Structure 1
């Protein structure tokens, strides 16, 4: 069976840049263009609108210079206008060779925006196409507002198609400009057009205003569409365009008679780069590329994955250059923790594993996600915590820090069944805490060891909510020893390390 090749045109740099608040620099545009064509291997890219600005001109020129040197120039496209050759001259100066000519796909737009008749519009379009051809520029045409045209002025759309079918154009682009189509309309409209003009190449351009972007794309392909316009991360005006990653995955998994040349392996890499350059964050639950998509949280899922991959589907993370992860938190079970330990090359006895599991559940109640990188710290903390009998307990404390005032603390601790309270000030919150402890110990005629080193570590790649490990080195007349504390708050982790020290010396 011969598979039908579907052309993928990426319009992240043109339509995607219409995302509110997004403006790529010339350097960013060039880097994204290179990645799209060389690594992601889309068939074409639409990189800009003609006549927009001096900066846009320089960005286009940078891309066309690179594309010309590397054999990609005919895959680089620019949106142009019916404007008596102004856009064509702009393209020639910028070095572009393919125009996507914006024309009217609905009688409503033609009548009330351009205030022209179909024959007037068609005449100007044909002149624009002829001029482009004479200048060595290939032409694709957009039918702006085509979806409304099919709903409300179908006769005009077919009059236009009859006209354009006789023009030297490469592709006819059918945009759902306002994102109003339903999947059944997408199928119906593309089908009736493709049936009448089976030998013409039609691109389908979906928007996502009703969250129908991918569904509309699927139906347009079923109806015979020859190409798609997509954007990385679904960027675009209003609710955005049909997203690249989801669409490619759906075609590969559910449309066996079609093929695309896009390299799935680099979808995630490209998505993260565009996220960085655009400043538009990828939602954690975004299909295929979201942070949580390949993360199992429930322990039962990890257990099932250990038993013949019961919770796997065809949507494997490795396809997209990603790995499956098992979240650590209050919903974690032993299986989740075992999976993470395997990745770290660690093994624990069943008894220790139970302690670590309980500690992770406790931390999960305070901190939504415990990372794999946190795990060695937690293990160290838990196993160290049970190396002594707990005779001293820090019951509660209040730490204060205000600009212009010395930090202070109020604490309550229990020593061998008896409770003591104390207030103190210090050079910092932890220093104030230690001064309060010293005061209590003096009353008990107990001596504290000297603090000789204080080190703080957080797991690599962590954020502001990361678990923090504080390692304090103490020196008493008898020995030098270390204690560790773990918490998402640095001062609290130091207090926990101190509580362990107190129990060691009292024992």
Structure 2
């Protein structure tokens, strides 16, 4: 039977210290529920008493029963010169009534002497006394040996003595922290192994930060050295450069090293969990993030696509479905027939790879990419291009004319943008005008106004992102621009692209593709 490694999630505490992240109580409760469903062993929910939000969260958690996860409260050892029972922050930890308490203490003599301004002996008493006191009230106490690796490198005897006192105080887990994130994997392995050999009776954990871009590797090396609890955050969010990324650690441990981490069926929810936390934290998942990123299993070069369609392990280290992700074949000027045929089959268009129509489509795509089109980030425009090529997109409306006016009078604080659109739907003419906070906004509004009477479902569509890129910079103000638009209807998101020397025309192409794609998809769902 494979050995168990316990996962300790600190997204809601350490992760919330990331710049730009601010979880509400409701946000935290939703994330806790997701982490519990996924099979996380410990969820560190915050520091009760340090702020009103965390105190209130623990009050609410008293009435919530989780299926798997243990709720953990976080705090520090007692202050110098105080007895544990006199320290209000220890009392707040007990009042929170968690299933486990994690307290951190100094294991680097520099911090004891310079930051705490106390003696090395007093610090040892603070560690042992605080743990022993908390053990009277909670079934499990975890000790975070803060700055352990830096402390060990400077004064190994004292760092190990801190661990010894924590064990004597009754700590259930000793967690070695690379608080500054400066250690490299070989150092973490050697030092963790030394701790495991010195204290064979202790259960050891690892808490790594990513300042040297090695937090995941450091966590893996600690496990190989004998650690059996791993701290981290979803997507690696955290202060400075972040914490160890659980979305990489969990599959590495389970799929590559054979440890038991989460139930196999739950691992398939990893990508969903990653994107869920990203949405709530407003920290998008980088496209190239391993395992869970949108591009983690994307293939652009024709040779790669051709090979991976024959046998996936030629260019994929795991089956994407094991972590709930999917293979993605992208299309660009590097693409060959294999990419195109794969994408066509994804759309339900069965074609012979040697068909002249496929060759024509390949050439058309390469020509458009040469002009500045970029279909990797605009899959909706690519799907429309392919389906139009095979005559599979009906004509939803005919444009007669559009016009955009931008005016600013001396009395105006900002320019005023107005757009008019003339078009016909099935022979019925429409002529609308609309104002916007910019020319593209006005054009989008006028187009929608003209079409919503015929297609009410367009009311669901929202433009959520708009990007402009210069294609040929050397041309100055005559350069071509590429406009990328992302839209949503609440159920799905899609990207469209337009290229022109005129930014309004490029925007019009991307806007109309977005509208047509929505109409086509809704029609397909009804069939």
Q: Distance in 1 between matches of 2:40 and 2:509?
A: 51
Change in Cα spacing, 1:124 to 1:450, as seen in structure 2 (3 Å) is: closer
Q: Is the 8 A contact 1:328 1:364 kept in 2?
A: no
1:130 to 128, 132, 138: 132
Of 79-88 and 16-25, the range deviating more from structure 2: 79-88
Q: Distance in 1 between matches of 2:224 and 2:147?
A: 22
Q: Who is 1:81 aligned against?
A: 76
Instruction: Return the offset for 1:319.
Output: 0.8
Of 21-30 and 340-349, the range deviating more from structure 2: 340-349
In the alignment, structure 1 residue 368 sits paired with structure 2 residue 368 = no
Instruction: Return the offset for 1:403.
Output: 2.2
Instruction: Return the offset for 1:177.
Output: 0.3
Q: Who is 2:260 aligned against?
A: 259
Aligned to 2:381, the other structure's residue is in SS state helix
Q: Who is 2:517 aligned against?
A: none
Instruction: Return the offset for 1:300.
Output: 1.8
Q: Which runs of 5+ in 2 are unaligned?
A: 79-83, 393-401, 410-417, 431-449, 467-483, 488-496, 500-505, 514-527
Superposition pairs of residues 349-498 of structure 1, within 5 angstroms:
350-365=355-370, 366-370=372-376, 371-382=378-389, 401-403=405-407, 428=419, 452=429, 464=466, 465-466=484-485, 487=498, 489=506, 491-492=508-509
Q: In the TM superposition, what whole-angstrom CA distance separates every residue of 1:281-314 from its partner, at most 9, and x where no partner exists?
A: 2111111111111111112222112333363434
Q: Distance in 1 between matches of 2:164 and 2:20?
A: 40
Q: Is the 8 A contact 2:188 2:218 kept in 1?
A: yes
Of 350-359 and 25-34, the range deviating more from structure 2: 350-359
Change in Cα spacing, 1:44 to 1:428, as seen in structure 2 (3 Å) is: closer
In the alignment, structure 1 residue 336 sits paired with structure 2 residue 336 = no
Q: Is the 8 A contact 2:235 2:247 kept in 1?
A: yes
Q: Distance in 2 between matches of 1:99 and 1:308?
A: 48
Aligned to 1:29, the other structure's residue is in SS state helix
Change in Cα spacing, 1:383 to 1:273, as seen in structure 2 (3 Å) is: closer
Superposition pairs of residues 273-288 of structure 1, within 5 angstroms:
273-288=276-291
Change in Cα spacing, 1:490 to 1:108, as seen in structure 2 (3 Å) is: closer
Of 452-461 and 178-187, the range deviating more from structure 2: 452-461
Q: Which runs of 5+ in 1 are unaligned?
A: 386-397, 406-426, 435-448, 469-485, 497-507
Aligned to 1:65, the other structure's residue is in SS state coil
Instruction: Return the offset for 1:487.
Output: 4.4
TM-score by length of 2: 0.73
Instruction: Return the offset for 1:202.
Output: 0.8
1:228 to 227, 230, 238: 230
1:50 to 38, 48, 51: 48
Count of residues paired in the alignment: 426
Q: Is the 8 A contact 2:127 2:169 kept in 1?
A: no
Q: Is the 8 A contact 1:429 1:491 kept in 2?
A: no
Change in Cα spacing, 1:428 to 1:200, as seen in structure 2 (3 Å) is: closer
Aligned to 2:202, the other structure's residue is in SS state coil
Q: Who is 2:147 aligned against?
A: 145
Q: Is the 8 A contact 2:143 2:171 kept in 1?
A: yes
Q: In the TM superposition, what whole-angstrom CA distance separates every residue of 1:28-73 from its partner, at most 9, and x where no partner exists?
A: 11111111112x201111111232211111123223431xx34557
| Higher Cα Rg, which structure | 1
In the alignment, structure 1 residue 186 sits paired with structure 2 residue 188 = yes
Change in Cα spacing, 1:428 to 1:255, as seen in structure 2 (3 Å) is: closer
Q: Is the 8 A contact 1:107 1:153 kept in 2?
A: yes
TM-score by length of 1: 0.76
Q: Distance in 1 between matches of 2:193 and 2:404?
A: 70
The RMSD of aligned alpha carbons is 3.3
Q: In the TM superposition, what whole-angstrom CA distance separates every residue of 1:433-464 from its partner, at most 9, and x where no partner exists?
A: x9xxxxxxxxxxxxxx9883676999999854
Q: Distance in 2 between matches of 1:308 and 1:94?
A: 53
Q: Who is 2:243 aligned against?
A: 241
Q: Is the 8 A contact 2:193 2:226 kept in 1?
A: yes
Instruction: Return the offset for 1:254.
Output: 3.2
Change in Cα spacing, 1:321 to 1:99, as seen in structure 2 (3 Å) is: same
